[in-house]
Amino acid sequence: MSEPQITDSHCHLDFPDFEGQLDEILTRAAEAGVARMVTICTKLKNEPSVRAIAEAHAPVFYAAGTHPMSAAEEPMTSVAELVGLAKHPKFVGIGETGLDYHYTAESAEVQKRSLLIHIEAARETGLPLIIHSRAADDDMAQILGDEMAKGAFTCVMHCFSSSPELAKATLEMGCYLSMSGIAAFPKSQELRDIFAAAPIDRILVETDSPYLAPPPYRGKRNEPSYTAYTARIGAEVFGMDYADFATQTEQNFDRLFWKVAQHQAVA
């Protein structure tokens, strides 16, 4: 019997860790029930190569933006640039963008400017904003709240591992929380409790590969097929049968990443 279908909503297939191995990686993903994945471009100069991966592989879609840790070194993007990129049929999200004060607090103001540009592009395109937030809970809640009040947009807090307060604030704004391998780590009970308190119709799963492999592969290179390990933990967190959890997260993904479902409907 085949595995229930799930989607890796956030991975980085253009990273050197995967070079020359994509066919095998996609085969393993399919065998694990990971039928779709969104590969994320974190520096816009790399967008052509990320786009090429999506164009070459039917299960792969892509998003692009400037990662907050690169915001100070990369050219500042524009709303027009992001909106232009979004015209591609397999371009399905804006980002990742956000705030990271853990490693790059000194560029906080540049990160905020970049984030606001990405938010406006998400508004204009109707595509979901993909947020990276680390050690910046107060500023992130403030900016997202202020911006939502100016005009709605959709949003996923990717690889969520922040505070219960940020989870609550962003969920109240209509955002989604994405569960990565961190949620499967043995010492992550507090994080699992945060997810358990969230509405099940606002949960996605992801790898963030090549990083953050869940057990039993922790410490090794992560890949999309391992989404299944995190999703099984997710099913336990919500007290659901795995197949039912998979079905629910697929519905959630299709609602947020509507362009994927639209593309597959006409393909």
* Domain tally, the chain: 1
Q: How would you classify residue 228: left for phi > 0, otherwise alpha for psi between -120 and 50, otherwise beta? A: alpha
Measure the CA–CA gap between 119 and 217, rounded to whole angstroms: 35
Measure the CA–CA gap between 50 and 23, rounded to whole angstroms: 15
Q: What was the pLDDT predicted at 70?
A: 97
Positions of the chain with pLDDT lower than 70, given as ranges: 1
- Domain assignment present for residue 77? The answer is yes
User: Is the distance from CB of 78 to CB of 114 less than 8 angstroms?
Assistant: no
Let me know the angle formed at the C-alpha of 194 by 192 and 195, rounded to the nearest 5 degrees: 65
Q: Is the peptide bond before 89 cis (omega within 30 degrees of 0)?
A: no
User: Is the distance from CB of 232 to CB of 243 less than 8 angstroms?
Assistant: no
Q: What was the pLDDT predicted at 1?
A: 60
Domain range for 96: 6-266
Beta strands in 89-154 (DSSP E): 91-100, 129-134
Q: How would you classify residue 99: left for phi > 0, otherwise alpha for psi between -120 and 50, otherwise beta? A: beta
Domain with residue 189: its CATH number is 3.20.20.140
- Domain assignment present for residue 47? The answer is yes
- Judge if pTM exceeds 0.95: yes
Cβ contacts of residue 265 below 8 Å, gap of 6+? none
Helix (H) or strand (E) holding 248: helix 242-256
The phi, psi pair for 233, rounded to 5°, reads: -65, -40
- Domain assignment present for residue 194? The answer is yes
- Domain assignment present for residue 1? The answer is no
